[in-house]
């Protein structure tokens, strides 16, 4: 409940060496090398010729990497301000409908609660020319592909092409790509990937926000009275529970990072959750704030440090193109939670099998009898 400092597995290994003066090899001989500094992490993420992505979103090996010659284009450009605004406006409408569904009280799974609103909001941002009914159908197909991707991502090794898991994932992906093509969407393969990433990540992050607030009634009560805490809550959850918490790369040649000689064809990882523990990026006890392992959004009220410096949206060619939309989606959902009293049904453990998601995301909502103060944007 206090954060991820007592996590086991790979997450625990990453956190135990975060802040080390140099790169650290994880999981014994032959394991990936964790880059522990912000400068080194930026080098890895912004040098696509030297550090290439090993797998695509479906965990298929990426076999071709074209040298950029100093210039490299993104498959999906950043969302325009207008597109992000369209998605945010659609989410506001979806949350109004969600109010009616929840009623006076409800016991819900936070992951299930936000799936459809976020998926439709993302589809509205990426596919503004489509009719609303078509966007809703495409959002449903995106969710079906995300569900089929779950077992692929969670498997210890990428499943073989002939396995039922892989066939189900491939069929769900092609259903979405073919539907996008029928609707005249340009480059449906790239758009399908953008839809999946633009839905899965904010769904997981939104669930973390709700689960963590439900586990901390005192914090949620403070949030209800002070809307200025809405965005700090979002940043704090993205610091401790970023859904995309490992960014893997493979070296294409011998490189030097943080003084370590790393040979060609070695796995290197950058971890926003590890960077979120760095003294220079996050206020902590020496600044009169809570330990960095604890969820405490108030640390950002008067902080000299800038929230998000720990790269929760990545950097470089593969940085999240929907950063502005994702932040606004999370802000709206946290603000929406102020209309209710939240209680957690279990201690929120961490599931590492597909990014970072709550192990138990059940929460209880009860509508407040006194309205919350108006949110400050």
pLDDT digits (tens, 9 = 90+) for 136-162: 999 999 999 999 999 999 888 889 989
Query: 296-308 as b/e, with b when 16 or more CB fall inside 10 Å?
Result: bbbbbeeeebebb
What's the domain range around 277? Answer: 9-59+78-367
pLDDT at 268 over 60: yes
Give pLDDT, residue 348.
82
What 3-state class would DSSP assign to 181? helix
- Count of domains for the chain: 1
Tokens representing 92 are 């506001």
With contact defined as beta carbons under 8 Å apart, do 128 and 83 qualify? Answer: yes
With contact defined as beta carbons under 8 Å apart, do 364 and 345 qualify? Answer: yes
Give pLDDT, residue 131.
96
pLDDT at 71 over 50: no
With contact defined as beta carbons under 8 Å apart, do 23 and 257 qualify? Answer: yes
CA distance 298 to 239: 13
Residue appearing with tokens 């206020």: 283
Neighbouring CB atoms inside 10 A of 205's CB total: 27
CA distance 235 to 242: 10
Confirm whether 66 is domain-assigned: no
Give pLDDT, residue 67.
57
pLDDT at 69 over 80: no
With contact defined as beta carbons under 8 Å apart, do 337 and 268 qualify? Answer: no
Of 81-85, 141-145, 287-291, the range with the highest mean pLDDT is 141-145
Confirm whether 1 is domain-assigned: no
Read off the pLDDT of each residue in 64-68 and give the average, rounded to a whole number. Answer: 56
pLDDT at 279 over 90: yes
Confirm whether 285 is domain-assigned: yes
pLDDT at 53 over 80: yes
DSSP annotation of 316: G
With contact defined as beta carbons under 8 Å apart, do 333 and 214 qualify? Answer: no
Specify burial of residue 4 (Cβ count, 10 A radius: 0-12, 13-18, 19+).
buried
Confirm whether 3 is domain-assigned: no
Confirm whether 68 is domain-assigned: no
Give pLDDT, residue 73.
43
CA distance 21 to 163: 43
Read off the pLDDT of each residue in 316-345 and give the average, rounded to a whole number. Answer: 94
Q: Minimum mean pLDDT among 123-127, 145-149, 213-217, 370-374: which range?
A: 370-374
Q: Considering the entire predicted model, what is its pTM?
A: 0.93
Give pLDDT, residue 103.
92
Confirm whether 70 is domain-assigned: no
Read off the pLDDT of each residue in 63-84 and give the average, rounded to a whole number. Answer: 65
pLDDT at 357 over 50: yes
Confirm whether 64 is domain-assigned: no
Tokens representing 137 are 């159908």
pLDDT at 74 over 50: no
| Neighbouring C-alpha atoms within 13 Å toward the C-beta of 281 | 23
The enclosing domain of 356 has a CATH number of 1.10.630.10
Beta bridge mates, 289: none
Give pLDDT, residue 322.
92
As a whole number, the mean pLDDT across the chain is 91
**Radius of gyration of the chain measured on its C-alpha atoms:** 21
Confirm whether 372 is domain-assigned: no
pLDDT digits (tens, 9 = 90+) for 160-198: 989 999 999 999 999 999 999 999 999 999 999 999 999
Give pLDDT, residue 276.
97
pLDDT at 254 over 90: yes
């Amino acid at each position: 409940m206090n954060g991820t400092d007592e996590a086991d597995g790979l997450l625990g290994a990453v956190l135990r060496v975060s802040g080390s003066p140099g790169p650290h090899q994880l999981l014994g001989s032959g394991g990936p090398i964790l880059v522990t500094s912000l400068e080194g992490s930026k080098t890895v993420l912004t040098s696509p010729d030297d550090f290439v992505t090993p797998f695509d979103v479906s965990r298929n090996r990426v076999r071709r990497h074209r040298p950029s010659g100093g210039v490299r284009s993104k498959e999906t450009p950043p969302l325009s301000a207008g597109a992000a605004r369209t998605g945010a406006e659609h989410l506001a409408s979806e949350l109004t409908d969600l109010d009616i569904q929840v009623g006076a009280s409800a016991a819900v799974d936070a992951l299930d609660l936000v799936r459809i609103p976020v998926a439709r909001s993302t589809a509205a941002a990426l596919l503004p020319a489509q009719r609303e009914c078509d966007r809703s159908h495409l959002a449903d197909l995106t969710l079906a592909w995300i569900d089929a991707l779950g077992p692929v991502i969670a498997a210890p090794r990428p499943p073989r092409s002939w396995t039922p898991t892989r066939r189900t994932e491939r069929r769900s992906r092609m259903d979405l790509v073919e539907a996008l093509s029928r609707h005249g969407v340009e480059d449906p393969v790239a758009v399908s990937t953008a839809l999946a990433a633009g839905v899965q990540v904010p769904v997981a992050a939104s669930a973390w926000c709700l689960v963590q607030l439900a586990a901390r009634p005192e914090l949620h009560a403070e949030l209800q009275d002070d809307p200025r805490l809405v965005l700090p809550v979002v940043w704090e959850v993205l610091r401790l529970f970023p859904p995309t918490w490992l960014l893997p790369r493979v070296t294409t040649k011998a490189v030097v990072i943080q003084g370590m000689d790393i040979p060609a064809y070695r796995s290197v990882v950058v971890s926003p959750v590890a960077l979120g523990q760095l003294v220079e990026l996050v206020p902590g006890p020496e600044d009169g704030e809570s330990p960095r392992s604890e969820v405490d959004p108030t640390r950002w009220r008067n902080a000299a440090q800038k929230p998000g410096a720990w790269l929760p949206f990545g950097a470089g060619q593969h940085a999240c193109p929907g950063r502005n939309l994702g932040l606004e989606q999370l802000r709206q959902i946290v603000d929406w939670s102020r209309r209710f009293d939240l209680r957690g049904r279990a201690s929120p453990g961490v599931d590492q099998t597909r990014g970072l998601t709550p192990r138990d995301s059940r929460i209880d909502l009860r509508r407040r009898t006194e309205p919350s103060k108006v949110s400050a944007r």
